[in-house]
Amino acid sequence: MKKYIAIGHFAGEENMTSVAMSNHNMKDFRDDCGGNGFIPWVIITEKRMEIIKSLDSYDLFNEVKKMTTNYRKWNDITEYIDQCFDIMEEKMSRA
């Protein structure tokens, strides 16, 4: 089992949040998110979390650009990761 964390929002809400779960692969994780009414903008693996941990703001923005083609969300996702990385790490460790 691998651990994944997704940044997005629940259907019917506009508040950005993150959800972490263990799953066999990213497709199954994405299916579970959809089944629970979560709309992921970005899905991050454990390996990518380690990479993100060491990045500064500019490099983080460039990494987010690689994770999603939704350019309207790049700034929001970068800001969320920058401000809530400790929460994301905690969720990932509990997954």
- Tens digit of each residue's pLDDT, the chain (95 residues): 899 999 999 999 989 999 999 999 999 999 999 999 999 999 999 999 999 999 998 999 999 999 999 999 999 999 999 999 999 999 999 98
> What is this structure's pTM?
0.91
Strand-pair partners of 19: 6
Say what the pLDDT of residue 57 is.
87
Say what the pLDDT of residue 93 is.
92
Which residue's entry shows tokens 């500019």?
58
> Domain range for residue 69?
2-94
Say what the pLDDT of residue 73 is.
94
* CB-based contact 42:70 (threshold 8 Å): no
Domain count, the chain: 1
